[in-house]
Structure 1
Amino acid sequence: MNEASFIPKSVKSTVDSGSFTWESPSNIALVKYWGKKKDQIPENPSISFTLNQCKTSTKLSFSKKENSDDYSFDVFLDGQKKPDFKPKIETFFKRVEVYLPFLKDYHFKIETSNTFPHSSGIASSASGMSALALCFMSVEKLLNDGKISNQFFVKKASFLARLGSGSACRSIEGPLVVWGEHGSIEGSSDLFGVKYPYEAHQNFNDYQDTILLVDRGEKQVSSTVGHNLMYGHPFALERFKQAGQNLENLISILKNGDLDDFIKIVESEALTLHAMMMTSLPYFILMKPNTLSIINKIWEFRKETGSKVCFTLDAGANVHVLYPEIEKETVLKFINNELVAYCENGHYICDVIGLGANEI
């Protein structure tokens, strides 16, 4: 499929008003995407675990307006109007208008809330933009008298979500989602995320993700700025090749359930992501001293006990502690005894991989 596949041939704005509500989760990349081309196209493929508990609920209400001159919308977070959210939403509207030609025909009320604290340091753009994209797809389906297949609905929702926030395209489905074209993964595309199409070993069933909140503050460098710094980065091309090879290697690891090899790739990817930040110009460091303390504690614990616990990082200081469900009791005890001291105010969130978004 190409971009033109998502442009409606005709959409009749014949419905006066209505509303839809979707909840969509965040996700955590195992092979990282860092660096993008024009129109939110990734420089390298990525694969992620879809989360279950960390999610955004969005209600989109719409009502027909008299003129179609411009966009009309209000945004609310937890019941409070958020005018500072509007520029990002308007940018999203401009990017997707050709694919959602009814946008200027309605006034939209966007009411959103997160199951995790807004200031927790967990990126809400993936869950938020995917939930909003799904709401708009529900409107499009309504305006087409329901004549949209579920397969197309999901693909276009992921396509639209990508135009709001790149990683949001990986939040529609689960438990494993690939984004970015890769020769060994059937159906993979730069335009949208696809559910991982191959067998995954039972070792990865109900995989746990405990998120240690090291720093709940706003990042000093936005992800958008960080992605753009990959242009002209001295190690960019090698990094893009490395990501593709790591994803290739993960295919057999996910099939055979080798957790030692899984750990090597996941932790290497996390550290490589931050190495790219530290070697860009301008350079920056998003890890904090407590991030490094947690990493070293995890390494010590794994060496001493033979545990299969590991870590990954997003573009920030917080640590995602990943481990198989069978080790849940042991690892949570380790977290409470050894790692919680490095969390801001002792805060952490327990999550598990999930199956994607749901309409409410």
Structure 2
Amino acid sequence: MNIVTCIAPVNIAVIKYWGKRNEDLILPLNDSISATLSMDQMRATTTVMASPDFAEDKIWLNGKQEAFSTNIRLINCVREIKKRAKSNGGDGENKILDWHIHICSENNFPTAAGLASSAAGYACLVYALAQLYGVKGDISNLARQGSGSACRSVYGGFVQWHRGIEGDTEETRGSVAEQLVNEFHWPELRIVILVVNDVKKKTSSSIGMKRSMDTSELLKYRVQICVPRRVEAMKKAIAEKDFETFGEITIKDSNQFHAVCLDTYPPVVYMNEVSNSIIELVHSYNSFHGKMKVAYTFDAGPNACLFLMEENLNEMISLINYAFPFSHGDSYFRGLPLISGPAPQHICSSINIKPHSRDLLKYIIHTKLGPGPRQLGEQDDHLLNSAGEPV
């Protein structure tokens, strides 16, 4: 048998991907840019095992066996990685390519709740398969076969997913991910995720995208006019560590993305009242300081991802805790350490912050930029035992 276990990160888009021009190849309408988060806090873990003794391909996701033969995206990923292995001198002549495989994958964060679980999961799967079959080089276009945003999770730091060009073959389309800067480029940058809801969302991203493609006039304007100039401005802001510009573009793009969802017919609503209260708090805080201190973005869900400098972290957390009081235990604050003192009353009174009902936030994750996937090396890391069954 051959066995490999890898971990891969979540990425959070600051310029959103929404809509496919080719459903089968998962080719996006527009470029997107994302931040890769540290795997110390949020990650997918995947074990892949190939053996001549396996009678069929199997997969387990978060402790539950899933159908393999009907999962088209999964099958596409496996097929394309094997094709690459045969063509680029990996294990092309090895019998391992003919063996059945068992896959076991799990996330240490909620799945299908708007926290980019599919991106981490498919990036981890493709990276692990690449290690198993000896595939070298860029694998972002292979990860894209599973989930579009997964291609961004194969690199750390800030990553651009290129829309690519129109063409008759996959090779000419060029829809691949590219690392803009690594995770060490902006060490002062911190990311705080406010988990509003950790249950599966009612409308999947795939269904929401398709509906927007069919009905939203705003989506067409966004793709043709707004995103191209935002991408260039965002790349410059990241390169120069210009938080003012970075924050403004991040907020505007998030707002426009959700405006597209509301412009969709019937509308797709991912945010809720708590999400809107977080937005109000961020804008009030920035207005108090007279400059961009905190930026928010919301993916296809109600959970807020806040970007801010480390120097503003404690003050902002104290205001969040004041506005959204909690009664949870030690599990409420997760990730990097947080120090939360009393909320500054001069800020609270100036911007009229009042406490909401208790426990509107499930928990808070504090993290930072992180690297791309990596392989784990210890026997205890594997999610499958020697018989190919979940541990």
Q: Answer whether TM exceeds 0.5 for this pair.
A: yes
Give the counterpart of 2:297 among 292, 309, 312: 312
- Aligned residue number for residue 134 of structure 1: 127
| Within-5 A mapping of 1:7-26 | 17-26=1-10
Moved more, 52-61 or 300-309: 300-309
**C-alpha separation between the residues in 1 aligned to 2:107 and 2:54?**
33
Q: Matched residue pairs, number?
A: 320
Unmatched segments (≥5 aa) in structure 1: 1-16, 142-147, 184-188
Per-residue CA deviations over 1:132-171 (Å, capped at 9, x if unaligned) read 0011111221xxxxxx54xx1xx12x11111100000000
SS at match of 1:316: coil
Give the counterpart of 2:20 among 36, 47, 53: 36
**C-alpha separation between the residues in 2 aligned to 1:118 and 1:236?**
27
**C-alpha separation between the residues in 2 aligned to 1:254 and 1:35?**
25
1:251 deviates by 2.5
- Closer, same or farther in 2 for the Cα pair 1:316/1:120, shift >3 Å? closer
Give the counterpart of 1:321 among 299, 306, 326: 306
| Within-5 A mapping of 1:1-360 | 17-38=1-22, 39-52=25-38, 53-64=41-52, 72-78=56-62, 80-83=63-66, 86=68, 89-94=71-76, 96-101=78-83, 105-118=98-111, 121-141=114-134, 149=136, 152=137, 155-156=138-139, 158-181=140-163, 190-196=174-180, 204-232=186-214, 233-241=216-224, 242-306=226-290, 308-339=293-324, 344=360, 346-360=362-376
- Aligned residue number for residue 10 of structure 1: none
Aligned AA (1:172) = V
**C-alpha separation between the residues in 1 aligned to 2:228 and 2:69?**
34
Per-residue CA deviations over 1:85-112 (Å, capped at 9, x if unaligned) read x467443213652442489722222122
1:318 deviates by 0.7
1:200 deviates by 10
Answer whether contact 2:12 2:116 (CA < 8 A) is retained.
no
Q: Identity of paired residues, percent?
A: 26
Unmatched segments (≥5 aa) in structure 2: 84-94, 166-172, 327-355, 377-391
Answer whether contact 1:211 1:321 (CA < 8 A) is retained.
yes
SS at match of 1:163: coil
**C-alpha separation between the residues in 1 aligned to 2:207 and 2:69?**
17
* Larger CA Rg, structure 1 vs 2: 2
Return the TM-score normalized by structure 1.
0.80
CA RMSD across the alignment: 2.7
- Closer, same or farther in 2 for the Cα pair 1:90/1:205, shift >3 Å? same
**C-alpha separation between the residues in 1 aligned to 2:360 and 2:52?**
46
- Closer, same or farther in 2 for the Cα pair 1:243/1:339, shift >3 Å? farther
